[in-house]
Amino acid sequence: MPERVAAGTAAAGPRARLRLSRRGFAALGLLVALLLGTAGWLVYFSPVLDVRVVSVSGTAVLTPAQVLAAARVPLGGPLERLDSGAVRARVLEALPRVAQVRVSTDLPHTVRLRITERVAVAAVRLADGGFTEVDPAGVDFATAPVPPTGVPVVELALSAAGRAALPDFPQSVLVNGAVRIARALPPALARETGVVVVHSYDDMELQLAGGATVLWGSPERDARKAVVLVALLKQKAATYNVTAPDDPALRS
């Protein structure tokens, strides 16, 4: 007869078990703590992963040297302890042309600065003959002796009505209105627009490169006016009137 296996006895033999004493657990915990501490020291305090290289990309008008001077990234410090927010704030404060800066790190030694520059949609003529560049958000970010290529120039030529309305429509409001008009123009039309002349809030006009004049009116319904003007420009005329975009007119 086959021999029976007694209850509670494993047929395949005893199963090996790993048991640690309290001393063993303590030693294992100490080893883990030592490894973590060493890793933390290497990353956050040692010169093994320090800052040695700072690279700049995305610049067009600015130079990488200007960005580096503004960022003042400390060399030699641990890469992972770099205060990215402080670097970003220094660049934005020192360089108004910068709209955005992204700070990232690459092990073992590199800090990367990715710059996005503001793009002008208009240039406002100043009393001294210079020009202030304005971006689509209405931010003045640079002054230059000449306007950037391909953007309209905003000129104030206030009429009697415009001067009388200055308490209600101050110069800043008028300039912002003209910038809104420039921003509404399609790129091809913006390049053909030499000047946005401001007579009053309700009386603004465009002077096109070919000599034609566009009576724009107020900086309201700009998107609609731009669409209507593009259609009107298919016909040659001396004056285009889109002050009432639902009832435009032209005059030869």
Those residues whose C-beta lies under 8 Å from the C-beta of residue 22, and which sit 6 or more positions away, are: none
Those residues whose C-beta lies under 8 Å from the C-beta of residue 152, and which sit 6 or more positions away, are: 122, 123, 182, 185, 190, 193, 194, 195, 196, 206
Q: Where are the domains of the chain?
A: 47-117, 122-251
Q: Looking at residue 12, what is its pLDDT?
A: 47
Q: Looking at residue 167, what is its pLDDT?
A: 95
Between 209 and 1, name the one with better pLDDT. Answer: 209
Query: Token digits for 189?
Result: 């039309």
Q: Looking at residue 25, what is its pLDDT?
A: 55
Q: Looking at residue 28, what is its pLDDT?
A: 59
Q: Looking at residue 13, what is its pLDDT?
A: 47
For range 67-95, the mean pLDDT: 92
Please provide the average confidence, as pLDDT, over all residues in the chain. Answer: 85
Residue 6 has pLDDT above 80, yes or no: no
The pTM of this model reads: 0.71
- Per-residue pLDDT of 188-228, as tens digits, reads 999 999 999 999 999 999 999 989 999 999 999 999 999 99
Strand arrangement of the beta sheet that strand 239-241 belongs to: 140-144, 131-134, 122-125, 153-156, 193-200, 203-208, 213-217, 239-241, 249-251
Give the span between the Cα atoms of 217 and 249, in whole angstroms.
Answer: 13
Give the span between the Cα atoms of 131 and 223, in whole angstroms.
Answer: 26
Residue 34, phi then psi, degrees to nearest 5: -65, -45
Give the span between the Cα atoms of 49 and 109, in whole angstroms.
Answer: 6
Residue 123, phi then psi, degrees to nearest 5: -130, 125
For range 178-185, the mean pLDDT: 94
Q: Looking at residue 80, what is its pLDDT?
A: 80
Query: So what CATH class is 47-117?
Result: alpha beta
- Per-residue pLDDT of 124-175, as tens digits, reads 998 888 999 999 888 999 999 999 988 999 999 999 999 999 999 999 999 9
Where do the DSSP E strands lie in 73-137? 98-106, 110-117, 122-125, 131-134
For range 59-68, the mean pLDDT: 95
CATH of domain 122-251: 3.40.50.10960
